[in-house]
Structure 1
Amino acid sequence: MSKPVEVFSLFTDFDISLFRSGKHYRLYEKFGSQTVFLNGRQGVYFAVWAPNAKKVSVVGNFNGWNPHSHELFVRWDESGIWEGVIFNIGIGELYKYSIETHQGDILEKSDPFALVMEVPPKTASMVSTTWYQWKDEKWMRNRNEHNRLDRPIAVYELHLGSWIRDPHESERLLTYREIAEKLVPYVKSMGFTHVELMPIMEHPYYPSWGYQITGYFAATSRYGTPQELMYLIEQLHKQDIGVILDWVPSHFPGDAHGLYRFDGSALYEHEDMRKGFHPDWKSYIFNYGRNEVRSFLISNALFWLDRYHIDGLRVDAVASMLYLDYSRNAGEWEPNEFGGRENLEAVHFIKEFNEAVYVNYPDVQTIAEESTSWPGVCKPTYDNGLGFGMKWMMGWMHDTLNYFKEDPINRQYHHDKLTFSSVYAFHEHFMLPLSHDEVVYGKHSLINKMAGDEWQKFANLRALYLYMYTFSGTKLMFMGGEFGQLGEWNVNQSLDWHLISEAPHKGLMSYVKGLNTLYKNEPALYEKAFSAEGFEWLEMGDTQQSIFAYIRKGHDKHNDVVVVINMTPVVREHYRLGVPSSGNWEVIFNSDELNYYGSGVSVGNIKSEAKHWMNKDNSITLTLPPLGGLVLKLTT
């Protein structure tokens, strides 16, 4: 008679050595629930790390959730891994781990490596698979051409459950497949190069937006199965659209079924709450000094790149990881061994994460949401950097939005808010974000941050977007910004898509589409996006008229473009602008066109004269539209 659980292991001695040293980056191939076929019988192999447990068993529907029925075996090698095979169960089986602590408590925990979890508020894990017959070979083969830092990268950030919902059942979340039918053609038509999905890992509390994760390896079941998510990603790839995921290695919630005190001890988090508790989010901070925890997190990062063909990871809240005193008062944090505020264990983890990603997937990108002036975020680790591919330019975002909130009559006193970022723009590989964080919690939607009446608000937003798309760096826009969503983002409802039938919103949508086309068609706007050689101010001191002018440069000087933006509602006639070459200059983009809901002001004659201006030997005279800008290019 066979035992309820039989001894078996997927771990080799080498696996255990790598795991315990923090160097095993494919733990998802070993841990969790894996279907196996042994001695002519089908079963499921379970493996879980719980080094401080007294006893671990698997409970589920198959045994009436009885913690005494199917006990796992602890390995002899002091790795803290419990494992074993249960036969006659398979795909679709619900289960948890029942963990008895040395204090006599019984904990029921979801599997940290579960591939699927029940739809919240239920919390059981499910035996599943990530097998999928991918059909995105062309994208994967040529992905580097889309992800390189000298290519256009215009990201559309979205939250899957509130981008769009069924108009007939507003409470119902669409499935990954239903979203694919609408999202893929929309993003393609708008011209974005990538989408960034806010966290899709399983999370119990929907209003956390996915940033409080309990199932790091489980795509949320709210929208369907892993294979349906893979279908969405595949369809985006077929249209040459990359997929970036938000990834949260900074903290996790204290839900009873999650990682918190997993085996009765502080296993994934720090025991010392000066390091282990996040005061802002009331969550728990990973213990980056523990080798097994680093293996868990880096394995998770590579899991999404491997199994889901993800093209980039945007790492959330990096600043909170780097500083021991982040959001803490004096006495609430402990300095590092050198007396500093830097979290040296987190720095080591971040470097190791980036090295592992780029060694295994050199054609993807990692992007840091890092809000401080930490040096070398995008430098290689061998040059003492953190090793990220890009970094969100948070200072640019805040300064720019503060500028556009000002009444145009006062902008002459805030001119430096738009010029200051050029001082440090090339210290990192910056992405210019207009993200979800800026349109919630009373901050207003982007359109309602703008000064003036309705026409001026839309003109201001067009001017902002022109500045964003023509300034150095890659681009990110949160959903709804492309058509002027009026209300703040609400995670529990769809965007206000009915607005796009109204002229101002329809015009703005056409405008963003035009900007994406301009950006992708003009090499000067992306080839040297992270180099000072790609940007030159023509006019940065015209505070009285609030006019800005600059040149963007690519590898070929014949592709250079000149940008001039008038940040007041006054038409500026006969405005003289220095240009880098003589000849006929063509307006290749005008934010004031009538089909963009602009005023249609005529620009005038733009043949250059041999008149020295703005440190250039040649110049042109223009009529600058109100709250508008022009992009010009030499034609002869």
Structure 2
Amino acid sequence: MKEPEKLNLVKDEPWLESYAPKISDRYHRFQASLKEIENFSGSITEFARNHEFYGIHFEAWRKGWVYREWAPAAEALYFFGDFNNWDRTSHPMKKSPRGDWEIFLPFDEYKDRFVHGSKVKVHVIGANGKLDRIPAYIRRAIQDEKSHDFAGQLWFEKEFNWTDQSFSLSRSLHQPLIYECHVGMAQEKLGVGTYQEFEEITLPKIKEAGYNTIQMMAIMEHPYYGSFGYHISNFFAPTSRFGTPEELKSLVNKAHELGIAVVMDIVHSHAIKNTNEGLNEFDGSDHQYFHPGAKGYHEGWDSKVFDYAKWEVKQFLLSNIRYWLEEFHFDGFRFDGVTSIMYQHHGLFMDFDNVDLYFNSQVDEDAIVYLQLANKLIHDLKPDSLSIAEDVSGMPGLSRKIEDGGIGFDFRMAMGVPDYWIKTLKHKQDEEWDMFELWHQLSNRPAKERSICYAESHDQALVGDKTLAFRLMDKEMYFSMSVLEQNLVIDRGIALHKLIRMITLSLGGEGYLNFIGNEFGHPEWIDFPREGNNWSYQHARRQWSLIEDPLLRYGQLNAWDKEMIQLANEYDILASKPAVQLHLDPDKKILAYERAGLIFVFSFNPTASFFGFAIRVLEEGNYKILLNSDQKEFGGFERLDNKINYPTDKNQCLLAYVPNRTMMVFKKVD
């Protein structure tokens, strides 16, 4: 019998040779699942239209509103709200054989009661008792200021006038420079920021900074603000605490006008366990959307785990993807918690130090198929789109094409890099930094899988952790950031902050991410209002005024970040081939490499500077410094002159002055 042809993933990664049958089986499972969907609906895009059937809709041909809900185990459903004075029994719903419930409200009878802005719920009688729930496909949910109770809200908005038809995602796909942000904490005020404020105040800052993509957190409705938007209750509702759906659409539209792509943090890895606001036990059973029993509970996150094998769950989640892409014009998604999705152990307390862990019985193959289907749908609906996976396990083929044996993401997050920086800063003196380890951590990645590299994200900014700036400068940030004083801790911190971010951007991946405010070393952690901090917004905001004060050094870090991003944009650094190492000196702590035709030279030496330091380059000729971190406007000491010409010598070497804790970018001029 003829041996089946190997998939490209195995051809390109010989170390996966013994797992070729499992990788092939994975691909065939996807094909079978897709075929089943296509036989049922015609295509995966048609399959992902559940949100157009379930929920509340006006049907012109019937001249009225219909509300449908899938709740197969429920004994009875009653629709109620403002329209019937919250009578829980006056509007029973009818059940179909497949477990769908439906009620029709004629326009003539309800036109003055069933109106825009009014509130609704559904009363469900099931094995878990009689509970008031929010419709699963509700488009808007609001919280009562006094009782804090959530309810669905009717939102009969007018058609939004999109003006982004000419927007192209090409720059973001080519080289994503991502600004990770949170609308609520994006303003300086002591309170929750809004979509409108973000559009008017924050978007221009991002545009000026040079980033071409924003990654928006906490968009899907979540009852607890402090969850950072990761405990989702209402999957089809943009959070109302930031404003209206139209205001979110306006924000996305404006970003597109500015040439900025908008990627949404989508949370399909778990759901809130609340029965008041969420999906848990909606029809009275514990297995409607989630796995039954202990398998359906996420111990690490205190939340519920989807059953990705279930037909209705796949349709719910895939429809959710289509909804956000089409209704709000998002340009793609950063999938949260992909490690948790792919493994039955959710990656908890795992080191992933053995290849078997990627293919053993603890891998949830149904979840893998779901992720493949999700990526197939995204790119079928919107060929120019971004799908990014947050995975700490290092699953092979995560950001390879499905037909190659991969899972289909465009990019994977390089989650090991921020962990490396944290460990280095926590456990090593500056004199102990290992240049070989640094090079390996930032350059060792699958050749045909694109990575989004970052020195820190929102994870490192939360209470209980520390940002890079705070690790480097700690309490001195509160007292010694004035340009009028000299402080050794601050000088070291400023220098290393610049080097760490530049080497991460230029060496670590094919895309780059920064969390809002970290570019200028925002001095405070993130702590959302809670009982423990007396419900304060002090640490749930961004203090932009710090960079606007000429007497503070935050502006110097901000200026460096702008130059760094501008350099990446001008020379397509991250879209270029991986870096070529030119020089590594473990004792002097100097590292040099070429990428995008530029020469990057880093000195992590804490004390010593070197004159006439020889670096052999790939081409002979004359070189000049394009950028150096020791420039005064970046908080440096002006020890380098960018006007000097650097000709190569007979050995094809640059002979450069390399000051301590400084980096330089050289360009060949002739």
TM-score over 0.5 for the alignment?
yes
Q: Assess if the C-alpha contact under 8 Å between 2:630 and 2:663 holds in 1.
A: yes
Q: Assess if the C-alpha contact under 8 Å between 1:22 and 1:291 holds in 2.
A: no
Residue 183 (str. 1) matches residue 202 (str. 2): yes
Q: Read off the aligned partner of 1:426 and give its amino acid letter.
A: A
What is the aligned partner in structure 1 of residue 329 from structure 2?
Answer: 309
* Secondary structure of 1:494's aligned partner: coil
What is the aligned partner in structure 1 of residue 592 from structure 2?
Answer: 549
Q: How does 1:204-353 map to 2 (within 5 A)?
A: 204-257=223-276, 258-326=278-346, 340-353=361-374
Q: Assess if the C-alpha contact under 8 Å between 1:117 and 1:221 holds in 2.
A: yes
Residue 537 (str. 1) matches residue 610 (str. 2): no
Aligned in 2, Cα 1:105/1:19: closer, same or farther, shift over 3 Å? Answer: farther
- For each residue in 1:37-91, what CA deviation from the matched residue of structure 2 results, as whole angstroms up to 9, or x when unmatched? 356x4x321011101111112110111222221112222xx32111121131232
Residue 622 (str. 1) matches residue 656 (str. 2): yes
Residue 496 (str. 1) matches residue 543 (str. 2): yes
* Secondary structure of 1:260's aligned partner: coil
- For each residue in 1:217-272, what CA deviation from the matched residue of structure 2 results, as whole angstroms up to 9, or x when unmatched? 10111011100011111111110011111011011111122100110012444443
Distance in 2 between residues matched to 1:71 and 1:159, nearest whole Å: 40
Q: TM-score, normalised by structure 1?
A: 0.87
Q: Read off the aligned partner of 1:107 and give its amino acid letter.
A: L
Distance in 2 between residues matched to 1:58 and 1:115, nearest whole Å: 16
Distance in 2 between residues matched to 1:344 and 1:22, nearest whole Å: 22
- Runs of 5+ consecutive residues of structure 2 not aligned to the other structure: 1-36, 351-355, 474-487, 529-536
What is the aligned partner in structure 1 of residue 646 from structure 2?
Answer: 607
Distance in 1 between residues matched to 2:54 and 2:178, nearest whole Å: 34
* Secondary structure of 2:664's aligned partner: strand
Distance in 1 between residues matched to 2:245 and 2:81, nearest whole Å: 21
Q: Assess if the C-alpha contact under 8 Å between 2:622 and 2:648 holds in 1.
A: no
Q: TM-score, normalised by structure 2?
A: 0.83
* Secondary structure of 1:137's aligned partner: coil
- For each residue in 1:323-359, what CA deviation from the matched residue of structure 2 results, as whole angstroms up to 9, or x when unmatched? 11235689xxxx99x9611111111111111111111
1:110 to 134, 148, 153: 134
What is the aligned partner in structure 2 of residue 526 from structure 1?
Answer: 574
2:450 to 414, 429, 436: 429
Aligned in 2, Cα 1:329/1:478: closer, same or farther, shift over 3 Å? Answer: closer
Q: Read off the aligned partner of 1:37 and give its amino acid letter.
A: A
What is the aligned partner in structure 2 of residue 459 from structure 1?
Answer: 495
- For each residue in 1:597-616, what CA deviation from the matched residue of structure 2 results, as whole angstroms up to 9, or x when unmatched? 1111125854333433xxxx
1:443 to 458, 462, 465: 465
Distance in 1 between residues matched to 2:128 and 2:516, nearest whole Å: 49
Return the offset for 1:129: 4.2
Q: How does 1:23-422 map to 2 (within 5 A)?
A: 24-38=47-61, 41=63, 43-75=64-96, 78-87=97-106, 88=110, 89-101=114-126, 103=127, 105-119=129-143, 121-129=148-156, 131-139=159-167, 142-143=168-169, 145-148=170-173, 151-166=174-189, 170-171=190-191, 173-257=192-276, 258-326=278-346, 340-405=361-426, 409-413=430-434, 415-422=436-443
1:590 to 628, 639, 645: 628
Aligned in 2, Cα 1:594/1:406: closer, same or farther, shift over 3 Å? Answer: farther
Q: Assess if the C-alpha contact under 8 Å between 2:375 and 2:408 holds in 1.
A: yes
Distance in 1 between residues matched to 2:204 and 2:255, nearest whole Å: 9
Distance in 1 between residues matched to 2:347 and 2:621, nearest whole Å: 56
- Runs of 5+ consecutive residues of structure 1 not aligned to the other structure: 1-13, 554-559, 613-617
- For each residue in 1:90-125, what CA deviation from the matched residue of structure 2 results, as whole angstroms up to 9, or x when unmatched? 322311111111x48212111111111113633111
Q: Read off the aligned partner of 2:182 and give its amino acid letter.
A: H
Distance in 2 between residues matched to 1:327 and 1:578, nearest whole Å: 44
Return the offset for 1:165: 4.1
Sequence identity percentage: 25
Q: Read off the aligned partner of 2:498 and give its amino acid letter.
A: R
Q: Read off the aligned partner of 2:552 and give its amino acid letter.
A: A
Aligned in 2, Cα 1:16/1:231: closer, same or farther, shift over 3 Å? Answer: farther
Q: Read off the aligned partner of 2:544 and give its amino acid letter.
A: W
Q: Assess if the C-alpha contact under 8 Å between 2:80 and 2:91 holds in 1.
A: yes
Return the offset for 1:591: 1.3
* Secondary structure of 2:633's aligned partner: helix
Q: Assess if the C-alpha contact under 8 Å between 1:58 and 1:71 holds in 2.
A: yes
Distance in 2 between residues matched to 1:580 and 1:184, nearest whole Å: 40
Q: Assess if the C-alpha contact under 8 Å between 2:231 and 2:272 holds in 1.
A: yes
Distance in 1 between residues matched to 2:58 and 2:387, nearest whole Å: 32
What is the aligned partner in structure 2 of residue 568 from structure 1?
Answer: 605
Q: Read off the aligned partner of 1:375 and give its amino acid letter.
A: P
What is the aligned partner in structure 2 of residue 11 from structure 1?
Answer: none
What is the aligned partner in structure 2 of residue 473 from structure 1?
Answer: 510
Return the offset for 1:425: 5.2
Q: Read off the aligned partner of 1:488 and give its amino acid letter.
A: W
Residue 508 (str. 1) matches residue 557 (str. 2): yes
Residue 487 (str. 1) matches residue 517 (str. 2): no
Q: Read off the aligned partner of 2:555 and give its amino acid letter.
A: K
* Secondary structure of 1:280's aligned partner: coil
* Secondary structure of 2:236's aligned partner: strand
Return the offset for 1:15: 12
Moved over 6 A (4+): 19-23
* Secondary structure of 1:482's aligned partner: helix
Distance in 2 between residues matched to 1:271 and 1:461, nearest whole Å: 45
- For each residue in 1:261-299, what CA deviation from the matched residue of structure 2 results, as whole angstroms up to 9, or x when unmatched? 110012444443342110111100001010100110111
Aligned in 2, Cα 1:27/1:269: closer, same or farther, shift over 3 Å? Answer: closer
Aligned pairs, number: 587
